[in-house]
Amino acid sequence: MSAIVTLKKGEGRTIKAGGMWIFDNEIDTILGSFENGDIVIIHDFDGYPMGRGFINVNSKIRIRLMTRHVDQEIDEEFLRMRVQNAWAYRKTTVDISSCRVIFGEADFLPGFVVDKYEDVLVVQCLALGMEQFKLKLVELLKETLAADGIHIRGVYERSDANERKKEGLPKVKDFIGEPFDTNIEIVENGVHYMVDVVNGQKTGFFLDQKYNRLAMQRICKGKKVLDCFTHMGTFALNAGIAGAADVTGLDISEYAIEQANANARLNGLENTVHFRCANVLDELPKLAAAGEQYDVVILDPPAFTKSREATKNAIKGYREINMKGLKLVKDGGYLATCSCSHFMTQELLAKTIREAARTAHKRLRQVEFRTQAADHPILWAADESYYLKFYIFQVVDEK
């Protein structure tokens, strides 16, 4: 018999709004015994059944919801239904050659992420309660893809994020099943990349910017482009493939620059797309002092904040980087700028960019506002699923 968790009166606002989390301070009583990771039944303060989810007393997110039906067994058929729904959604909304197949809470499989790179799956399990389902979910996903004629040749686990510690879990980096060559060539928006799923950041590649990179292709044709925090050269190479006249990519990581240069050669773009290792915050003022100006500047920084408490410092960071970037854009040129932190809301980012533009004496005309690709769906009421905000502006001098 599952333990029954009863919420305090007035709590459970997140799951009542359609979200997936119950925090430690929202719980009144727990009736029955359980072990961390067990599925429990959730009741509102008045006994109204709210669903079933897995519990972990090590985590501030005490319960992650699996279903809103208290009589629903979390069995193989249930997991198959979740996996098939996730795949059907991707087939409808995105290019599936390489995409995020399962996006945790937003696919109603909390704490579980799977990226597909051509015929390889990369798995990330960030919640204790999902560990028990991990191998079964991989099996069901391979079965679901096989039904569409997609044969998966290998699966690698990248559960090496710090969130695992909060769940009381060790970090894991290993093959699930037989070893295979973990350098995979993918094609996105006509650009070829070699993805290293063992050593690359997160699961090896940032798929969430796919259509934002595509949006930049139209703008970069024939232009002089600066791509900051280039990582594997993704925006720079999209500019290059679209016919940019000259592209410079900057990143502080020597490993990332090596990968970016290899990707430029892979696409035959080494004559127009150049990369160099530099601290972007230091390099931009040097470029400005040297009189450099660009038709297009792209700012894709790492998350300056991973907690609500650090948001104030992050605002300073985003303001500074946008101010420095804006000073390098020619009159009538373009700025693409983004944030990948869900704590940096769209309103907060817009306010910060506005302040940066004022300080740099630049006027902005918004071309478009974009978010993460549709294979990273935003579940309303699950704020953490909405993290990427991406602006494209035309920059005009104040005259």
How many CA within 13 A on the CB side of residue 181? 7
CB atoms within 10 A of CB 88: 11
Distances (CA, A) of 136 to 87, 145, 197, 225: 16, 14, 21, 46
Is the Cβ–Cβ distance between 233 and 208 less than 8 Å? no
The end-to-end CA distance of the chain, in Å, is: 73
- The CA angle 288-294-295, to the nearest 5 degrees, is 155
Q: Which of 54, 61, 11 is nearest to 36 (CA)?
A: 54
Tell me, yes or no, if 228 is annotated catalytic.
no
Backbone angles phi, psi at 159, to 5 degrees: -90, 60
Cα 244 to Cα 187: distance, rounded to the nearest angstrom: 19
Q: Which of 99, 125, 338, 340 is catalytic?
A: 340
Active-site residue list: 340
